[in-house]
Amino acid sequence: MKMRISAIVFFVSLSGIKLLHGVEENKPAPGEKPNVLFIAIDDMNDWVGFLGGHPQTQTPNMDRLAKRGVNFTNAHCIAPACSPCRLGLLYGVEPFNSGLYPFYDHEKIPQEVLGKYTSLPRYFREHGYQSFGAGKIFHGSKSLAEDWDDYLKQSGAKLEYAPEKGYQQGDSGKMAFCPTTNPLEDHPDYQVASYGIDVLKLQHEKPFFLAVGIVKPHLAFVCPQKFFDMHAGPIQNPLIRHRDLQDVPWVGRSMAKLSDDLRFRTDDSWEQVHRSYLACISWADFNIGRVLDALENSPYADNTVVVLWSDHGYHQGEKRSFRKFSLWEESTRVPFIIYDPRPGKMKSGNCNEAVSLINIYRTLGDLAGIDAPEYVDGKSLIEQLRDPIAALTEPAITTWGRGNYSVRDDDWRYTRYFDGGEELYNHSSDPQEWENLAHDAALIGKKKELAAFLPQHEAPLVKTGISLWNVVDADQPDKLTGFQEKTWSQMKQKLKPAIE
Ligand SMILES: [Ca+2]
Ligand SMILES: [Ca+2]
């Protein structure tokens, strides 16, 4: 089976246009089971047109999808890091139920852990679908054979950077914020989108689950010049309060990437960083648009559910931080859209209820008319797809390390760290989360109400297969002492008086 599909994909990539005509002549009868186009994006925060996070962003393709579908404007990640968020989403299990809190090598996670779960692509395969994947779906480049009928093997063209047209820290390949000089075809996201387009040109006998994993705007912030040209003028700064960390408890402070902020300030490079991030978002949007256009022009346009999500958000200087790895809004809020073209299945609009990416598994199951495995966490969003203003009673929970959880409902965020540190923010009056209200006596009731949603049981940390464990949590409490004694006092000297 695998061989046959690989051969077809290879053939199509050589003569796609010819085969497309063949597909049009054999347009499939409207099936009962929809196809699924599953678009995963890496590190994209709310700087997209349809979430309004930055006034200068240009994302016409995703904006168009958001308008046609349900745009979840208050969606949050399972964990603010690639690996635990993707494992949670793709196996349908919260970190506090699986024990998969930090980063893992997917293939090294013990079978006694993963064997209990069914990944989303495998779940679709087991229910009559063929699954196709490309790019970053799980964290890491390796894909497990049982998940996919076919998975793109990418060619590794070396990208050449033009740091003189942007900013780069030394010769760091990762900390580069500048245009590339390669042709479009050399870039991984272009190749991933092309694979998706090729799969959409195939004549499918079975419904398909097509996963397209876009890796920008993940570091390095590099992409073709054209997308930098779209953001050539002065870039507006995000709203930042300098002494914002003053009322944040120690574990929260440890999550701020103070050294990145300091470096960008010293190098006077924040604007280049912001420009490069916006350019990479537009580049991601361009490639997503290529796949969406191909779907629209395919025989599958009327029977393919599209789900688009980013694995977590991104700090761009807020809370003196860069990257993700925190439980603040910048890290947890994500783009999330579902579009179902089938008549009567969905009503377009914005859903402003707090939702979690953990809800994707059950929702896709409902849309495909197949039951999710019993263990799967989260609730189906099928009601919100039928009526975007339908209420949802449970908040979204984000986990970052065992013992650190943030609960987000429509108006509030409540965070509790493993050592008892707390934050409480009122989003209706303080969307930037500047004023920590956790110690306001008048809000004890609110805090209790939200705390009731904190996990009652915490799975022990799965220790085998960890590839990166960069959080201060219940299993690494000693790291906090080190942070307090060394990092904070050093940074305080350098950043003074900005952080205290
Ligand atoms: Ca990521
Ligand atoms: Ca503050």
Q: 142, 106 in Cβ contact below 8 A?
A: yes
Helix H segments across 297-404?
Answer: 329-332, 360-368, 382-386
Question: What's the Cα-to-Cα distance from 287 to each of 38, 230, 494, rounded to whole Å?
Answer: 14, 15, 41
Instruction: For residue 318, give the ligand nearest its CA.
Output: 2
> How far apart are the CA of 252 and the centre of ligand 2, in A?
11
Task: State yes or no: pLDDT of 496 exceeds 50.
Answer: yes
Place of tokens 């959409």: 200
How many whole angstroms separate alpha carbon 402 and alpha carbon 419? 11
Q: 75, 334 in Cβ contact below 8 A?
A: yes
Task: State yes or no: pLDDT of 28 exceeds 80.
Answer: no
Average pLDDT of the segment spanning 288-305: 98
So where are the chain's domains?
2-12+34-495
Instruction: For residue 40, give the ligand nearest its CA.
Output: 1
% pLDDT > 90, the chain: 87
How many whole angstroms separate alpha carbon 217 and alpha carbon 181? 17
Average pLDDT of the segment spanning 127-135: 97
Average pLDDT of the segment spanning 308-337: 98
> How far apart are the CA of 447 and the centre of ligand 2, in A?
17
> How far apart are the CA of 274 and the centre of ligand 2, in A?
22
Query: Of the residues 54, 76, 139, 231, which is catalytic?
Result: 139
Place of tokens 């799965």: 462
How many whole angstroms separate alpha carbon 186 and alpha carbon 163? 18
Name the DSSP class of 185.
Answer: G
Q: 162, 179 in Cβ contact below 8 A?
A: yes
Q: Report residue 42's pLDDT band, with 50, 70 and 90 as the boundaries.
A: very high
How many whole angstroms separate alpha carbon 136 and alpha carbon 42? 8
Instruction: Report the 10 Å Cβ neighbour count for 31.
Output: 12
User: pLDDT digit string (tens) for 233-279?
Assistant: 999 999 999 899 999 999 999 999 999 999 999 999 999 999 999 99
How many whole angstroms separate alpha carbon 411 and alpha carbon 431? 9
> How far apart are the CA of 89 and the centre of ligand 1, in A?
13
Instruction: Report the 10 Å Cβ neighbour count for 233.
Output: 8
> How far apart are the CA of 150 and the centre of ligand 1, in A?
23
> How far apart are the CA of 31 and the centre of ligand 1, in A?
34
> How far apart are the CA of 277 and the centre of ligand 2, in A?
25
The CATH classification number of 2-12+34-495 equals 3.40.720.10
Task: Give the count of alpha carbons within 13 A of 123, CB side only.
Answer: 24
> How far apart are the CA of 242 and the centre of ligand 2, in A?
9
Task: Single out the residue of 278, 238, 218, 225 nearest to residue 57, CA to CA.
Answer: 278
Taken in order 24, 26, 32, 38, is the CA torsion positive or negative? Answer: negative
Task: State yes or no: pLDDT of 20 exceeds 60.
Answer: no
> How far apart are the CA of 404 and the centre of ligand 2, in A?
18
Beta bridge partners of 475: none
Question: Active site includes 139?
Answer: yes
Question: Active site includes 351?
Answer: no
pLDDT at residue 18, rounded to an integer: 33
Query: Of residues 480 and 486, which shows the higher confidence score?
Result: 480
CA 268 to chain centre: 28
How many whole angstroms separate alpha carbon 63 and alpha carbon 59? 6
Task: Give long-range contacts, CB 8 A cutoff, 24+ apart: 195-199.
Answer: 195/9, 195/13, 195/132, 195/134, 195/135, 195/152, 196/37, 196/132, 196/134, 196/291, 196/294, 197/16, 197/290, 197/291, 197/294, 198/9, 198/12, 198/13, 198/16, 199/9, 199/12, 199/132, 199/150
Query: Of the residues 77, 82, 85, 351, which is catalytic?
Result: 82
Tokens standing for residue 444? 């004890």
Instruction: For residue 78, give the ligand nearest its CA.
Output: 1
Instruction: For residue 42, give the ligand nearest its CA.
Output: 1
Instruction: For residue 217, give the ligand nearest its CA.
Output: 1
How many whole angstroms separate alpha carbon 59 and alpha carbon 286? 8
Residues in the chain: 500
Task: Single out the residue of 369, 431, 363 nearest to residue 392, CA to CA.
Answer: 363
> How far apart are the CA of 40 and the centre of ligand 2, in A?
32
How many whole angstroms separate alpha carbon 307 and alpha carbon 211? 10
User: pLDDT digit string (tens) for 137-189?
Assistant: 998 766 788 999 999 998 778 999 999 999 999 999 999 999 999 999 999 99
Q: Report residue 31's pLDDT band, with 50, 70 and 90 as the boundaries.
A: low
Element (H, E) at 328: none
pLDDT at residue 487, rounded to an integer: 85
pLDDT at residue 380, rounded to an integer: 97
Checking DSSP bridges between strand 208-214 and strand 35-41, what pairing results, if any? Answer: parallel
Tokens standing for residue 353? 């209820």
> How far apart are the CA of 437 and the centre of ligand 2, in A?
9
pLDDT at residue 141, rounded to an integer: 63
Name the DSSP class of 460.
Answer: P
User: pLDDT digit string (tens) for 384-438?
Assistant: 999 999 999 999 999 999 999 999 999 999 999 999 999 999 999 999 999 999 9
Task: State yes or no: pLDDT of 17 exceeds 70.
Answer: no
Q: Report residue 1's pLDDT band, with 50, 70 and 90 as the boundaries.
A: very low
Instruction: For residue 244, give the ligand nearest its CA.
Output: 2
Instruction: For residue 331, give the ligand nearest its CA.
Output: 1
> How far apart are the CA of 4 and the centre of ligand 1, in A?
33
